[in-house]
């Protein structure tokens, strides 16, 4: 995709807070909680109060960062240059069942479906891109990489001083526990809470002396504790260490206030855990630690009461902890044009990749390999491009090789490179944290392009060219303003929605549940008129996400400091695509606030790579 650069004077800061993160540290982790019953170590009293709160279009590669390029040919690699989408599925060769209607979903789930939204927020038709072209990053939307010449022009907005953007520090260990009761348990708990709340309201409304009301509420809680006792719930795990031993806490709460006993129900395989009576623990990596480890802590309810509605429920709730520290690494093979990659540029690419990788959690250590090329052409409007092949050429919604490797740990293409990166050093680049007003932000561009290879791209093409049946996993979530899916039965494009490709009827939107929850409605995608090959649909809408709301995956960018943090909406999209994402801390996000407008315009994607 092509990225256009424009200078402005707005702030484009994005912030995201993660409980327990410190400003530095190389590891991240996540914990999932579930009901269980095993046994071992420490006990503690619950702090809960007694309230009721208890491939045609075969994988399209991302095009290079050029202003306007047309890609009519199709190849096997999804490459993204300056924000272009790539078609990928949620499984190595996963083919989803045919879908014709969006799934109704009120909350994000572990297996996200399209969120049914009757009226999307900010669904005004996107405006056409501004006439002045500039170097752009290519994304994987069109299969052929045809850079379009354009000149860099600056807007008339007054110049604004740039804020120093510190590099995103490596996140510390970050853990999160999510109670994973089964559907039946959740329904029972909800009914009990509703019943308790109703009875308490009834007691409060009785014309009785307050003392009698206290006794009645006491009787209510005694009855609930004795006959309707619930298992404890696990709150998010708080971590306060970023290196060496990792200290955290499983903060369980029992609805009835019963005493809790914490035990290590599954020990880590590559380290040791010391568990205290109050739920605090210390994890120390062992000699065999390879970047990933897991263990399970269970909080048991020591009450002797029953639950007549659900008599066979477990007495405890378990928090399964996943730890990452340097679990994702990159290998860059510099080939054609290697002479243009100075030591400083290579270091900047590695830092950008490593910094972004700390925001993704994996279940097994992985090495992502890229073939890297370069040119030095000031006449070309291409800034950079990146892409990754789809895991299969079958009909369906498919992952890219890079995306699949990160999510499943499976290498779908063997010894071949997982992706490719192209860079144009014919333009001025700011390689560090200080980016001049006439320089492009290397780190921001690299992160943007790498995300395309991660699967943030679409295989949807211009009117009349959507004849294939292989799509990216992102395409699964693309809908109209009414929630209708343009890719329907048999994974075929419905030509009735051709007008939406260029903004008619509101254009196209991303309808994944996590993204919709973060944005508050369907998320507008870039659908300019006329169609911009390699850029359209593969990016967030420039006309919607403007000024302080601009995002890393906008279609256009400008010189000066760029966006280096994921917005909540982008985190939601990545989660819908199957990733486990650990957002940056608010401290890191605030450090990346900009006083320079970042606009991106994508172009045609790179030609597909050969596996």
Kindly report, residue by residue over 247-304, the tens digit of the pLDDT: 777 766 555 556 677 888 888 899 898 888 877 888 888 888 888 888 888 877 655 4
Q: What 8-state DSSP symbol labels residue 496?
A: G
Residues 465-477: what's their mean pLDDT? 96
Distance in angstroms (rounded) separating the CA atoms of residues 465 and 39 = 60
Cβ–Cβ under 8 Å, residues 222 and 343: no
Distances 228 to 116, 128, 189, 270, 467 between C-alpha atoms, Å: 35, 60, 10, 40, 58
With tokens 């992502």, the residue in question is 368
At residue 573 the predicted structure's pLDDT band, cuts being 50, 70 and 90, is very high
Residue 596 inside a domain? The answer is no
Token pair recorded at residue 578 = 């199957």
Shared domain for 443 and 567, answered yes or no, is yes
Among 90-99, 195-204, 522-531, 572-581, the minimum mean pLDDT is found in 90-99
Q: Which residue has the higher pLDDT, 573 or 322?
A: 573
Shared domain for 247 and 205, answered yes or no, is yes
Distances 235 to 7, 238, 240, 254, 489 between C-alpha atoms, Å: 44, 9, 16, 11, 42
Residue 427 phi/psi, 5-degree rounding, is: -115, 160
382 Cβ neighbours under 8 A, 6+ residues apart: 2, 64, 65, 66, 81, 82, 135, 136, 137, 138, 147, 422, 424, 603
* The pLDDT of residue 193: 67
Closest CA to 57 of 41, 80, 40, 77: 77
Residues 391-419: what's their mean pLDDT? 95
* The pLDDT of residue 9: 31
Residues 516-522: what's their mean pLDDT? 97
Shared domain for 341 and 196, answered yes or no, is no
Distance in angstroms (rounded) separating the CA atoms of residues 382 and 67 = 7
Q: Which residue has the higher pLDDT, 216 or 409?
A: 409
Kindly tell me if the per-residue pLDDT of 48 is higher than 80.
no
With tokens 């030591």, the residue in question is 343
Shared domain for 320 and 338, answered yes or no, is no
Cβ–Cβ under 8 Å, residues 367 and 34: no
Residues 595-605: what's their mean pLDDT? 35
Q: What 8-state DSSP symbol labels residue 167?
A: P
Kindly tell me if the per-residue pLDDT of 445 is higher than 90.
yes
Token pair recorded at residue 231 = 């298992």
> Where is the domain boundary, 306, 325, 344?
325
* The pLDDT of residue 76: 45
Kindly tell me if the per-residue pLDDT of 229 is higher than 60.
no
> Where is the domain boundary, 325, 355, 381?
325
pTM, full prediction: 0.66
Alpha helices in 309-456 (DSSP H): 343-357, 401-408, 442-453
Q: Report the residue count for the chain.
A: 611
Q: Which residue has the higher pLDDT, 350 or 534?
A: 350
Instruction: Give the 3-state DSSP-derived string for 319-352, with helices as H, strands as E and coil as C.
Output: EEEEEEECCEEEEEEECCCHHHCCHHHHHHHHHH
Kindly tell me if the per-residue pLDDT of 522 is higher than 90.
yes
Per the rule left: phi > 0, alpha: psi between -120 and 50, beta: everything else, 537 is: left
Q: Which residue has the higher pLDDT, 359 or 125?
A: 359
Shared domain for 434 and 384, answered yes or no, is yes
Q: Which residue has the higher pLDDT, 410 or 156?
A: 410
Cβ–Cβ under 8 Å, residues 46 and 232: yes
Residue 531 inside a domain? The answer is yes
Q: Number of structural domains, the chain?
A: 2
Closest CA to 606 of 149, 83, 4, 55: 83
Distances 266 to 36, 94, 263, 465 between C-alpha atoms, Å: 11, 31, 9, 53
Shared domain for 272 and 222, answered yes or no, is yes
Cis peptide before 97 (omega within 30 of 0): no
Residue 290 inside a domain? The answer is yes
Shared domain for 312 and 448, answered yes or no, is no
Shared domain for 104 and 202, answered yes or no, is no
Q: What 8-state DSSP symbol labels residue 538?
A: S
Distance in angstroms (rounded) separating the CA atoms of residues 24 and 243 = 9
Shared domain for 309 and 202, answered yes or no, is yes
β-strand pairing of 246-249 with 238-239: antiparallel
Kindly tell me if the per-residue pLDDT of 218 is higher than 60.
yes
At residue 468 the predicted structure's pLDDT band, cuts being 50, 70 and 90, is very high
- Distance between start and end Cα atoms, the chain: 21
* The pLDDT of residue 249: 72
* The pLDDT of residue 584: 63
Shared domain for 507 and 398, answered yes or no, is yes
Residue 11 inside a domain? The answer is no
Cβ–Cβ under 8 Å, residues 367 and 415: no
Order the strands of the 271-275 sheet from edge to edge: 238-239, 246-249, 280-285, 271-275
Among 264-278, 542-556, 584-598, the minimum mean pLDDT is found in 584-598
Among the ranges 62-76, 318-332, 431-445, 544-558, which has the highest mean pLDDT value? 431-445
At residue 525 the predicted structure's pLDDT band, cuts being 50, 70 and 90, is very high
Shared domain for 150 and 190, answered yes or no, is no
Distance in angstroms (rounded) separating the CA atoms of residues 420 and 92 = 19
Distances 180 to 33, 94, 149, 239 between C-alpha atoms, Å: 6, 25, 53, 21
Distance in angstroms (rounded) separating the CA atoms of residues 392 and 470 = 8
Summarize pLDDT for 490-514 with one digit per residue, the tens: 999 999 999 999 999 999 999 999 9
Residue 69 inside a domain? The answer is no
Cβ–Cβ under 8 Å, residues 307 and 260: no
Q: Helices 343-357 & 442-453, crossing angle to 10 degrees?
A: 50
Shared domain for 342 and 438, answered yes or no, is yes
> Where is the domain boundary, 297, 325, 353?
325
Neighbours of 337 (CB within 10 A): 16
Give the residue numbers spanning the domain of 190.
27-53+174-325
Token pair recorded at residue 249 = 């806490």
Residues 108-133: what's their mean pLDDT? 39
Token pair recorded at residue 259 = 């005493």
* The pLDDT of residue 115: 45
At residue 173 the predicted structure's pLDDT band, cuts being 50, 70 and 90, is low
Residue 183 inside a domain? The answer is yes
Residue 576 inside a domain? The answer is yes
Residue 14 inside a domain? The answer is no
* The pLDDT of residue 263: 82
218 Cβ neighbours under 8 A, 6+ residues apart: none
Kindly tell me if the per-residue pLDDT of 527 is higher than 90.
yes
Cβ–Cβ under 8 Å, residues 570 and 553: yes
């Amino acid at each position: 995709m092509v990225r256009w650069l424009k200078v402005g004077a707005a702030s484009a800061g994005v912030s995201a807070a993660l409980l327990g993160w410190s400003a530095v540290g190389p590891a991240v982790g996540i914990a999932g909680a579930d009901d269980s019953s095993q046994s071992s170590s420490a006990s503690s009293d619950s702090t809960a109060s007694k309230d009721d709160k208890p491939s045609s279009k075969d994988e399209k590669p991302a095009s290079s960062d050029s202003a306007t390029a047309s890609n009519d040919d199709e190849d096997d690699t999804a490459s993204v240059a300056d924000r272009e989408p790539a078609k990928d599925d949620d499984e190595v060769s996963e083919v989803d069942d045919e879908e014709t209607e969006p799934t109704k979903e009120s909350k994000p789930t572990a297996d996200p479906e399209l969120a049914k939204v009757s009226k999307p927020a900010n669904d005004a038709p996107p405006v056409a891109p501004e006439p002045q072209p500039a170097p752009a990053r290519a994304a994987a939307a069109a299969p052929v990489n045809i850079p379009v010449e354009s000149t860099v022009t600056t807007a008339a907005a007054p110049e604004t001083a740039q804020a120093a953007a510190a590099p995103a520090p490596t996140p510390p260990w970050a853990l999160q526990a999510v109670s994973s009761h089964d559907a039946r348990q959740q329904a029972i708990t909800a009914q009990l809470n509703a019943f308790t709340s109703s009875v308490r309201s009834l007691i409060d409304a009785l014309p009785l002396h307050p003392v009698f009301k206290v006794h009645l509420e006491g009787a209510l809680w005694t009855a609930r504790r004795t006959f309707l006792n619930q298992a404890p719930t696990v709150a998010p795990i708080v971590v306060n260490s970023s290196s060496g031993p990792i200290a955290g806490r499983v903060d369980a709460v029992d609805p009835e206030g019963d005493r809790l006993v914490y035990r290590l129900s599954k020990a880590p395989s590559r380290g040791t855990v010391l568990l205290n009576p109050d739920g605090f623990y210390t994890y120390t990596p062992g000699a065999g630690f390879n970047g990933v480890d897991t263990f399970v802590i269970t909080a048991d309810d020591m009450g002797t009461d029953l639950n007549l509605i659900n008599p066979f429920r477990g007495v405890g709730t378990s928090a399964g902890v996943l730890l990452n520290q340097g679990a994702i690494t990159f290998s860059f093979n510099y080939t054609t044009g290697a002479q243009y990659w100075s030591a400083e540029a290579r270091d900047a690419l590695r830092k950008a990749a490593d910094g972004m990788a700390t925001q993704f959690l994996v279940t097994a250590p992985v090495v992502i390999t890229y073939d890297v090329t370069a040119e030095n052409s000031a006449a070309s409007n291409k800034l950079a491009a990146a892409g990754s092949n789809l895991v299969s050429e079958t009909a369906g919604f498919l992952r890219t090789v890079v995306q699949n490797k990160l999510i499943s740990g499976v290498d779908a293409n063997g010894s071949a490179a997982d992706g490719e990166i192209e860079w144009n050093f014919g333009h001025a680049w700011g390689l560090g944290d200080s980016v001049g007003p006439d320089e492009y932000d290397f780190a921001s561009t690299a992160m943007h392009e790498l995300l395309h290879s991660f699967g943030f791209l679409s295989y949807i093409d211009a009117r009349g060219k959507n004849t294939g049946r292989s799509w990216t996993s992102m395409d699964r979530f693309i809908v109209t303003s009414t929630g209708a899916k343009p890719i329907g039965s048999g994974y075929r494009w419905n030509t009735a929605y051709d007008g939406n490709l260029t903004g008619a009827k509101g254009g196209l939107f991303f309808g994944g549940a996590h993204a919709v929850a973060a944005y508050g409605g369907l998320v507008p995608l870039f659908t300019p008129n006329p169609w911009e090959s390699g850029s359209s649909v593969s990016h967030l809408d420039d006309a919607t996400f403007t000024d302080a709301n601009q995002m890393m995956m906008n279609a256009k960018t400008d010189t000066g400091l760029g966006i280096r943090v994921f917005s909540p909406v982008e985190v939601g999209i990545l989660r819908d695509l199957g990733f486990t994402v650990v957002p940056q801390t608010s401290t890191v996000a605030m450090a990346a606030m900009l006083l320079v407008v970042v606009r991106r315009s994508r172009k045609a994607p790179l030609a597909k790579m050969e596996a």
